[in-house]
Amino acid sequence: MGFSTKLFTSAALRIPFLHSFGYTRHMELKWVEDFLQLAETGSFSRAAELRYVTQPAFSRRIRALEQWLGAELIDRTSYPTKMTKAGEQFRERAAEIVRQAIDARAIARGLQSAPTDTILFAAPHTLSLTFFPTWLTVLEKKLGRVKVKLLAANVHDAVMSLVEGNCDLLLCYHHTNQPVQLDESRYEMIVLGTETIAPFSKTDGDGRALFALPGSDAKKIPYLSYTPQAYLGRMVELILQQSPLRAHLDCVYENDMSEALKVMALEGHGLAWLPESAVVREVKGKRLARGGDAHWTGTMEIRLYRERGAQREVVDTVWNAALGK
């Protein structure tokens, strides 16, 4: 039986470990999940992908668990990765801890009076402001009123909301070179559409972009950039890497939200890569214009994910409507 990484808001959840190990300090429950995922896959890189963390961060968490236990759990001299004798012994006990935590959470949630007819969505900020409202309108034409609770977050946190069982449906971007690492055996997916990201700038009196790529060494373009950890920021880096021309940019501002970059662009502070759906009105009103041709654009899929298996009836209804059933 495969280990399910679905759990908890484990970043905040700590539990006292079994007294048989003779320790009284607390530890992170996610470390136990990490260990079980590693034991199943036999690969640090694959386990890190399935846990949706970087491999260095994953390795640090395994080390932290070993330090807490005071024993080596992993034989790092072999490949595929193998458990030590202590690791094999701990594996059964660890699986039981996770099962107990899942049961405890299910009981706690069952005692809450959360509305059963409300769907919990997670989505990146941009999709929550642009795609989601229009898509929901289309759904409601088929189904009538749909009650929704939406968590708007960055892409990573939105994905983790699904992985940790804190939402029913995940709406997010996907690109083959910037994929969302979700195990296909655990999650099913629908492609709802595509989104183009392109460079935009405030317009001059003739409706043309004030700043246009590629710029030059003598006259660099003021660049309104996403922060390095932002998904759209990684998309822009990919576009710049794949372009046959070199962009001459001077970063003057950073933010992880496209709406914030749009406001700065509208004020004439520079050029920003923005999802086209976020600037429809501004382009139509000739307040923003593209600052580059097709070489400087990228296209992402807009995907809907959910966990496989038993679902609430209201979630099934929306999912089937999204499939066109």
At residue 199 the predicted structure's pLDDT band, cuts being 50, 70 and 90, is: very high
The type of residue at 262 is K
At residue 91 the predicted structure's pLDDT band, cuts being 50, 70 and 90, is: confident
For the stretch 279-314, pLDDT in tens is: 999 999 999 999 999 989 999 999 999 988 767 888
43 pLDDT more than 80: yes
321 pLDDT more than 60: yes
Is residue 199 within 8 A of residue 213, CB to CB? The reply is yes
Residues of the chain by 3-state class (helix, strand, coil), percent to 5: 40, 25, 35
Other Cβ atoms closer than 10 A to 29: 21
The stretch 210-235 carries a mean pLDDT of 92
Measured CA to CA, the distance from residue 103 to residue 97 in angstroms comes to 10
For the stretch 131-149, pLDDT in tens is: 999 999 999 999 999 999 9
For the stretch 138-193, pLDDT in tens is: 999 999 999 999 999 888 888 888 887 888 999 999 998 888 878 888 899 999 99
Residues in the chain: 325
At residue 81 the predicted structure's pLDDT band, cuts being 50, 70 and 90, is: confident
Q: At what angle do helices 55-69 and 29-41 cross, to 10 degrees?
A: 110
Give the H/E segment covering residue 35: helix 29-41
The stretch 208-220 carries a mean pLDDT of 95
The mean pLDDT of the chain is 84
What pLDDT, on the 0 to 100 scale, is given for residue 6? Answer: 36
Q: Please list, in sequence order, all residues whose beta carbon lies within 8 angstroms of the beta carbon of residue 48, skipping any fewer than 6 positions away.
A: 54, 55, 57, 58, 59
Q: Please list, in sequence order, all residues whose beta carbon lies within 8 angstroms of the beta carbon of residue 290, skipping any fewer than 6 positions away.
A: 198, 199, 200, 201, 209, 283
The type of residue at 279 is V
- Please report the DSSP string for 186-233 in residue order: TEEEEEEEEEEEEEEEEB-TTS-BSS-SS--SSSPEEEEE--TTSHHH
**pLDDT above 90 coverage of the chain, percent:** 48
- Please report the DSSP string for 82-116 in residue order: EE-HHHHHHHHHHHHHHHHHHHHHHHHHHTS---T
Residue with tokens 């576009």: 239
100 pLDDT more than 60: yes
